Amino acid sequence: MSTPALILASSSSSRRTMLAAAGVEFTTAMPNVDEDAVKAAYSLGSAFPGEAVAVALSERKALAISERHPDALVIGADQVLVCEGRVFNKAVDATDARAALMALRGREHELIAAAVIAKGDAIIWSSADTAYLTMRDFSAEFLDEYLSREIPDVLGSVGCYRIEGRGAQLFSRVRGDQFSIRGLPLVALLEALRQYGVLRR
C-alpha cells in the first residue's frame, strides 16, 4: 500500500518548520478561510470558547483544501489567543503589535493550538492543546527595542512573539507544550500520522 499524500493547509512558517524538522514529508496549500466570520459566530456568549474556535478554524482550512485533493490527508491547524475574555487577532503593523503587547503585559493569557486531519469531505482526526503564558511587566524601553528587532516577523503570530527566539524575554511564566505554543500540537499529530500510515510505527 502506498503512503497517502500529505498536505499542510497553512501559511505558517513555524508549522512548516516544525513538521519538516520532525522528518515529515508534505506539501503546502493556502486555504481561503474567512477567520473573522468564524470567530464572530462564536462570540455571542459571555465566554469566548477558544478551543472550539481553534478547532473550527482548523477544520475549515483542512476541508477547503481536501475538496480539491480528496485522496490526500490534509492537515488543518490554527491558534487562538484569549486574555481575560478578549480574543486577539494577528497584528497588521507595528502600532497594532505594540497595542496588543501592552494589553498582554503583566497578564496571563491562554494560547490554544488545534490541528485536524481531513480526507475527502470528512474530518477524521482532531486535537487541541492549551498553554498558559504570563507576560512580565516589561519596560517601554524594552518594548521599543523588541519591536525594532522583531517587526515585521512577528506580525504573523497571533501574540506578536516567537517564543523560540527573542519572544522568550517577554515572559515571567510559561506552562504548556512548546510545540503547541509555536502553533501545532505536534506530538499528538505525529501519533495520528503513524496511525494513518504516513509515518512508520
pLDDT at 4: 78
Non-local (6+) Cβ contacts of 143 within 8 A are 98, 101, 102
Within the chain, residue ranges assigned H as helices are: 13-21, 35-41, 50-66, 94-104, 140-150, 178-181, 186-195
Cis peptide upstream of residue 185 (ω within 30 degrees of 0): no
At 39, the pLDDT band (50, 70, 90 cuts) reads: confident
Annotation marks residue 78 as catalytic: yes
Mean of pLDDT values over 85-112: 95
pLDDT single digits (tens) 158-169 = 999 999 999 999
At 44, the pLDDT band (50, 70, 90 cuts) reads: low
Question: 6-91+108-133+177-195 maps to which CATH number?
Answer: 3.90.950.10
- For residue 47, pLDDT over 70 is answered with no
**Mean pLDDT score of the chain:** 93
- For residue 42, pLDDT over 90 is answered with no
pLDDT at 2: 65
At 40, the pLDDT band (50, 70, 90 cuts) reads: confident
- For residue 141, pLDDT over 60 is answered with yes
pLDDT at 36: 82
- Distance in angstroms (rounded) separating the CA atoms of residues 128 and 112: 7
- For residue 157, pLDDT over 70 is answered with yes
End-to-end, the C-alpha distance of the chain in Å comes to 15
Mean of pLDDT values over 45-65: 88
Q: How many CA atoms lie within 13 A of 103 on its CB side?
A: 19
Which member of 34, 71, 78, 153 is catalytic?
78
pLDDT at 1: 53
Mean of pLDDT values over 103-125: 97
Radius of gyration, CA atoms only, the chain:
17
- Distance in angstroms (rounded) separating the CA atoms of residues 18 and 118: 20
pLDDT single digits (tens) 66-88 = 999 999 999 999 999 999 988 89
